[in-house]
Amino acid sequence: MATTMFFEGELVDKGGKQKNRIHLEFGRSSYYDGESLIYIAINGEWVILDEAQGREVYEAMDNLGGYLGYDRKPR
């Protein structure tokens, strides 16, 4: 199995009121028959998405980023 990590980090609530943090990691994995698929790990719990799930998550995040203006340069 080969993996390529695209993000790893601790995420905290912006307001600082929540004491809970999550450790998020995601990237690509070839665990299943060498097929490149998205993997997501939250607090050490892993899932490897099938292509349909991966596309659904990607499209949702892309839409969210566009809605929030993250696709434009910061002012």
Query: Does the pLDDT of residue 18 top 80, yes or no?
Result: no
In a domain? residue 21: yes
**Does residue 59 sit in helix, strand or coil?**
helix
pTM over cut 0.75 = yes
In a domain? residue 55: yes
Alpha carbons 36 and 73: distance in angstroms, whole number: 30
Return the residue matching tokens 């490897």.
48
Q: Identify the band that residue 8 occupies on the pLDDT scale cut at 50, 70 and 90.
A: very high
- Specify the number of domains making up the chain: 1
Domain containing 45 equals: 3-68
Q: pLDDT value at position 14? A: 86
Return the residue matching tokens 């899932």.
47
Cα Dmax for the chain: 45
Residue 2, sorted as left (phi over 0), alpha (psi -120 to 50) or beta, turns out to be beta
In a domain? residue 73: no
In a domain? residue 74: no
